[in-house]
Homo-oligomer: A and B are copies of this chain.
């Protein structure tokens, strides 16, 4: 069986780094602040926001929670975003998605101060990923990175998995995961193929990958026909089923082929909140310098 790319362990290393950096900032009288904007009563969203607030508390960040009723309008949400943009105690802002019907997330995201865009979703920041030439340049710029894609890169780097010159296939082209992780893998000099529902012979394309990122949201879709022996398999899918959380990869039938594989749960999902906090700390450091 392949090695487990352990999200719990790798996230812990990120949290340790965050705590230490918060300690340095604290000596300057700075507490990185993450604001969470949550509209309505979606139970899963409440759980996610609760996890983010809890991690802030445990790692030296302050959290500023802004709940809004389900009846809030787009203008209400944007007004809160503008207030948080101006608040010097806030270094990162997330607007928890999905938003209730009638509120266009794109119109809200665009109103975030790009410097405080803790999810790395603002078009300015996604464009900077395109304009910056290498992973080194991206890190040096201090721009907030899309959290899940940055978490994936962190997992590869943590285990010293080679990326340069490797063939990477990303299945799924969401703005949240697929498209930005393709940019980041390319910035590390992988040859990246962006595959999706229109891709012909999808399993054959997947099988060409040294690094396979499955981010399509179809439980168990990637089976052993899609995995080359020795491939690194990153499973971004998290679908709730009667039997618990399911990834996009058929773990049981793929694990013996892969050299490294992320479990679900306990894999990529664990990285996202860690990277969100890291974006906030980096923003606080940048604003302090």
- Contacts from A to B (Cβ < 8 Å): 106, 121-131, 133, 164-165, 167, 173, 175, 179-180, 182-183, 186, 189-196, 198-200, 205
Which of chain B's residues have a CB closer than 8 A to the CB of A124?
123-124, 127
Q: Do B191 and A200 have beta carbons less than 8 Å apart?
A: yes
Distance A68 CA – B130 CA, assembled complex (angstroms): 29
Which of chain B's residues have a CB closer than 8 A to the CB of A189?
196, 198
A-B contacts, 6 listed (Cβ < 8 Å) = A123-B127, A123-B128, A127-B130, A133-B175, A165-B198, A191-B193
Distance A175 CA – B121 CA, assembled complex (angstroms): 19
| Also in contact, A200 and B123, with CB within 8 A (given A191-B194, A192-B194, A193-B191) | no
* Closest CB in chain B relative to A212 CB, distance in Å: 14
5 closest A-B pairs by CB: A127-B127, A123-B127, A126-B127, A189-B198, A193-B193
Distance A189 CA – B195 CA, assembled complex (angstroms): 9
* Closest CB in chain B relative to A202 CB, distance in Å: 9
Distance A16 CA – B195 CA, assembled complex (angstroms): 36
Which of chain B's residues have a CB closer than 8 A to the CB of A129?
127, 130
Which of chain B's residues have a CB closer than 8 A to the CB of A199?
165, 191
Chain B residue with the shortest CB-CB distance to A193: B193
* Closest CB in chain B relative to A11 CB, distance in Å: 26
Q: Which secondary structure dominates where chain A touches chain B?
A: mixed
Which of chain B's residues have a CB closer than 8 A to the CB of A195?
191
| Also in contact, A128 and B131, with CB within 8 A (given A192-B193, A200-B165) | no
* Closest CB in chain B relative to A171 CB, distance in Å: 10
Distance A200 CA – B125 CA, assembled complex (angstroms): 30
Chain B residue with the shortest CB-CB distance to A163: B198
Q: Do A194 and B182 have beta carbons less than 8 Å apart?
A: yes
Which listed residue (B131, B133, B173, B194) contacts A123, Cβ 8 A? B131
Distance A125 CA – B130 CA, assembled complex (angstroms): 11
Chain B residue with the shortest CB-CB distance to A187: B173
Which of chain B's residues have a CB closer than 8 A to the CB of A200?
165, 167, 191
Which of chain B's residues have a CB closer than 8 A to the CB of A190?
198
Which listed residue (B164, B165, B186, B198) contacts A194, Cβ 8 A? B186
Distance A199 CA – B271 CA, assembled complex (angstroms): 29
Which of chain B's residues have a CB closer than 8 A to the CB of A123?
123-125, 127-128, 130-131
Distance A200 CA – B173 CA, assembled complex (angstroms): 24
Distance A124 CA – B129 CA, assembled complex (angstroms): 11
Q: Do B180 and A130 have beta carbons less than 8 Å apart?
A: yes
Chain B residue with the shortest CB-CB distance to A190: B198
Which of chain B's residues have a CB closer than 8 A to the CB of A106?
131
Which of chain B's residues have a CB closer than 8 A to the CB of A191?
193-196, 198-200, 205
